Amino acid sequence: MQPEASNATTPARNSRATRKLPSAEERLEELGIQLPSPPTPFGSYAEAVRSGNLLFLSGMLPTEGHTAKFVGRAGAEFDVETGRQAARLAALNGLAVAREYLGSLDKIKRIVRLGVSLATTEDCREHPKIADGASDLLQDIFGKDKNPSRLINGVVSLPLGTPVALELILEVA
């Protein structure tokens, strides 16, 4: 004998179904994160280009103002934790550019791709841990369900001697 089906909704289930998830802008506030001023290009290129519903962000660096905050290579001048901080700052700069271009981070439907270039020594093997400095920030703001695909490359050098450069592709409303 099977129990009778009930149309009643439990209070816990009902509250979850109607609970509004915080927007990206609300999450920034909850996390106490203030975006920096958007960086200006270091050359002849656009920092953001929209094509259809995709916004492409060019090589975001860990800079403050027009100066590199981090310089060096993973495995030589800095460790994993310093690399994570550099990747996080580059991601914050990317979000600042996106907000300036879109007017609000709430117009981002999902992060499609995160490309991470890391200046490393040839024996450095910590690429994923360093790149997580950017990935974790994006996940904290947009949620795990909007995690992007990710590609990490180790390179000999990057602009301004920085340890990280990020490329972001965003799906926008």
Tens digits of residue pLDDT in 110-143:
999 999 999 999 999 999 999 999 999 999 999 9
46 is in which domain, residue-wise? 27-172
Average pLDDT over residues 42-57: 97
CA–CA distance from 82 to each of 87, 127, 129, 137 (Å)?
Answer: 9, 12, 11, 15
Number of domains in the chain: 1
User: What is the chain's mean pLDDT, rounded?
Assistant: 91
The verdict on residue 12 lying in a domain is no
Q: What is the predicted pLDDT for the residue at 69?
A: 97
- Structural domain contains residue 168: yes
Q: Kindly state whether residue 17 falls inside one of the protein's structural domains.
A: no
> Which CATH number belongs to the domain containing residue 110 in this structure?
3.30.1330.40
Consecutive H or E run containing 55 = strand 54-60
